[in-house]
Structure 1
Amino acid sequence: MNRGQREAAVRRIMEQGLAPVPPDLRLDAVRRGDRLLRRRQLVRRVLWLLACAAAVAFAVWAADAQPWAEPPSQTTPPLGGW
């Protein structure tokens, strides 16, 4: 199909009337959109809740374990220079 044939096919399609749309299509689309929006909001809230819980758990662990502190020495330093 060359360019002229494609253009003619497109013109034929565009000159045809609009396809009939079911009357309840808009209502179904609105319902589905609302449902998707609510689901996304719920997922976003759950993820924020999990992120906050992880931050609190990390803060509690860090306060208890104190990973920034140097662990106590297991051996005594050598004595020298008597």
Structure 2
Amino acid sequence: MNRSEREAAVRQIMERAVPRMPPELHADVVRRGSRMLRRRTLARRLLWLLLFAAVVGFTVWAVTVQPWVEPPSETTPPLTDW
């Protein structure tokens, strides 16, 4: 198929009459779209809640364990009676 044939085919497709859509299609699309928005909003809120819980859990763990403090040395006995 050369270029002029492709252009003719495209013109023919574009000049066709637009098919009629069923009247109930709009209501179905709006219903599905609003359902998708509700699900997306719920998923986003759940992810934010999960992130918040992870941050709170990490903060509580870090305050309790204090991983930045060096543990006491247990390799040598303490010096007493000098």
Unaligned runs of 5+ in 1: none
Letter in 1 for 2:25: L
Q: How many residues align?
A: 78
Q: Deviations over 1:25-45 (max 9, x none)?
A: 111111111000000000000
4+ runs deviating over 3 angstroms:
none
How far the C-alpha of 1:14 sits from its partner, in A, is 1.3
Give the alignment of 1:1-82 within 5 angstroms. 1-76=1-76
How far the C-alpha of 1:12 sits from its partner, in A, is 1.0
Unaligned runs of 5+ in 2: none
* TM-score, structure 2 as length reference: 0.89
Distance in 2 separating the partners of 1:53 and 1:30: 34
Distance in 2 separating the partners of 1:2 and 1:31: 45
How far the C-alpha of 1:75 sits from its partner, in A, is 2.2
Task: Output the aligned Cα RMSD.
Answer: 1.4
Letter in 1 for 2:32: R
> Taking every aligned residue pair, what percent have the same amino acid on both sides?
64
